[in-house]
Amino acid sequence: MRVKMIHHRREITKETGSNRERGAAIIIALMVSLVLAFLGLGLLMQTSLGLQAAGTDRWVVRALYAADAGTQAEIATLSTGAVAQGAFVLADDTALPGMLTGQYNVVVDDVCELEPGWQPLGTGPGWITRHFHFRSSATRDAGLLVGLTQAAITQDVTIGPIPDSNLQDSIYCY
């Protein structure tokens, strides 16, 4: 009977050593899992920030297009001989859901003539060419959030020939 107990103690001792090894393996596995989880979260955060940056770039490009629309509208106005500053609203696609839809407030200002107009070569009397400087800016608004994205274009443009009869006076830049 005594031999059996010693044999039994040896089995217990072996099981205790084996349990210690299993505990160390579990701790190592948990540490590796924790490191992998943090790496995964970091990758997820980086991907999320990349998507947000791409979305912001899209709105900035759209604001730039809206500002460019303001420059084109001003060039069309100046081509008629009129000199005007103004503002208008461009709306996003209204079919887009939630914060994706909004509007761009476009303002054309700082309109001034760079130098006195001159008669272009090859034209008869009564025609003039003028040189203008102006700024077109666009701001994106979505609901109550005003000024989310902004873009501006400053442009110097030569307009003409324009009939003298259509000319309006302007402010000189210098």
CB 66 within 8 A of CB 88: no
Q: Give CA–CA dist 134/114, Å, rounded.
A: 10
User: What secondary structure letter does DSSP report for 96?
Assistant: S
Rg for the chain, CA atoms, rounded: 36
Q: Which helix (H) or strand (E) holds 152?
A: strand 145-163
Q: Give CA–CA dist 153/134, Å, rounded.
A: 8
Q: Where are the domains of the chain?
A: 2-166
| pLDDT category of residue 3 using cuts at 50, 70 and 90 | very low
pLDDT at 16: 52
| pLDDT category of residue 121 using cuts at 50, 70 and 90 | confident
Q: Give CA–CA dist 73/84, Å, rounded.
A: 10
| For residues 76-105, average pLDDT | 77
Coil, strand or helix at 132: strand
Q: Give CA–CA dist 106/84, Å, rounded.
A: 14
Distance from the first to the final alpha carbon of the chain: 116
Which one is predicted more confidently, 93 or 41? 41
Which one is predicted more confidently, 24 or 143? 24
pLDDT at 25: 85
Q: Which two tokens stand for residue 106?
A: 């476009």
User: How does the average pLDDT of the chain come out, rounded?
Assistant: 78
Identify the residue whose tokens are 């000199």: 83
pLDDT at 153: 92
